[in-house]
Amino acid sequence: MSLDLKEMLTVLIEALGVLCNAALVIVGIWGIRTAVRTLRAIERQADEMVKQAALMKEQTAIAQKAAEAASSNAQSVINAERPWLLIEPSYTVNGMRGVPAASLTIKFKATNVGRSPAEVIYAALDWRHLLLGQELLDEPFFSENAPVEQQWAHTRWIKPDESFIPEGMDGQCHISSDAAELWKYLIEGTCVLFVMGYIRYRDAISNSVHESRYCYLVSPKVGTMVMAGPPGYNKLT
């Protein structure tokens, strides 16, 4: 083989190698550009997913607020149309001439000031006398004769603007000669008398059970009754 032919073959082989390397470079560049485009597409998709997630979160918050507003409006309608029983007290001192004894007569009238009937299911009244300076418990307490769970066998319906004195909400606090010292303390103001209780009723709209609680401080010394006690004793639910 002549020298020229060998040189030509060498040149051809080198050229083929260059072409192969160039092809590999081109393929590599194309692959890199493809990878870059893919990464950018992924980034755009990720950004879009983030935006969609933020939008969904915002829409969820809006929907939640709308649901809360609807619930609040519904509750407002119920509160506007439901019965509300308010308690009003009356009080008299009955003395016994010539005898160191007396009795207190206290009555509580319930009036439906709402717009719909109320089914009164129970009412309770209790008494507590404390030395001056003593305080009631934070939560209301009632005697064993008036448990919170108790319900009348025969309930009573009260229409709007109707008033009545429920069973269990009128009575007398008798202070006999055996308790003359207690009456003396009440008159002197060194002992205080609390009258408390509640009326429980069911409304005809939502069938919910409500309570009207009351607590009054009785003062035979000045002949008055004033609302008293911790917040939980005077409460409408």
Instruction: Dump pLDDT digits (tens) for 148-172.
Output: 567 888 888 999 999 888 766 666 5
Cβ(66)–Cβ(58) under 8 Å? no
Are 119 and 75 members of one domain? no
Number of residues written out for the chain: 237
Are 157 and 217 members of one domain? yes
Select the more confidently predicted residue: 152 or 23: 152
Cβ(147)–Cβ(236) under 8 Å? no
Task: With cut-offs at 50, 70 and 90, classify the pLDDT of residue 219.
Answer: confident
The whole-angstrom separation of Cα 148 and Cα 67 is 34
Range of the domain at 3: 1-81
Are 221 and 161 members of one domain? yes
Select the more confidently predicted residue: 201 or 61: 201
**Domain boundary residue among 63, 81, 99?**
81
What mean pLDDT comes out for the span 92-111? 66
Are 114 and 196 members of one domain? yes
**Domain boundary residue among 62, 81, 100?**
81
Domain count, the chain: 2
Are 128 and 58 members of one domain? no
The whole-angstrom separation of Cα 137 and Cα 139 is 5
Of residues 155, 66, 144, 160, the one with CA closest to residue 119 = 155
Are 106 and 221 members of one domain? yes
Are 91 and 113 members of one domain? yes
Are 173 and 99 members of one domain? yes
What pTM, to 2 d.p., does this model score? 0.63
Are 23 and 76 members of one domain? yes
**Domain boundary residue among 54, 81, 108?**
81
- What is the per-residue burial (b if ≥16 Cβ within 10 Å, else e) of 194-227? bbbbbbbbbbebeeeebebbbbbbbbbeeeebee
Q: Does the pLDDT of residue 1 top 70, yes or no? A: no
CATH of the domain at 155: 2.60.40
Are 18 and 42 members of one domain? yes
Six token digits for residue 11: 């040149």
Are 169 and 53 members of one domain? no
Are 133 and 207 members of one domain? yes
Cβ(199)–Cβ(87) under 8 Å? yes
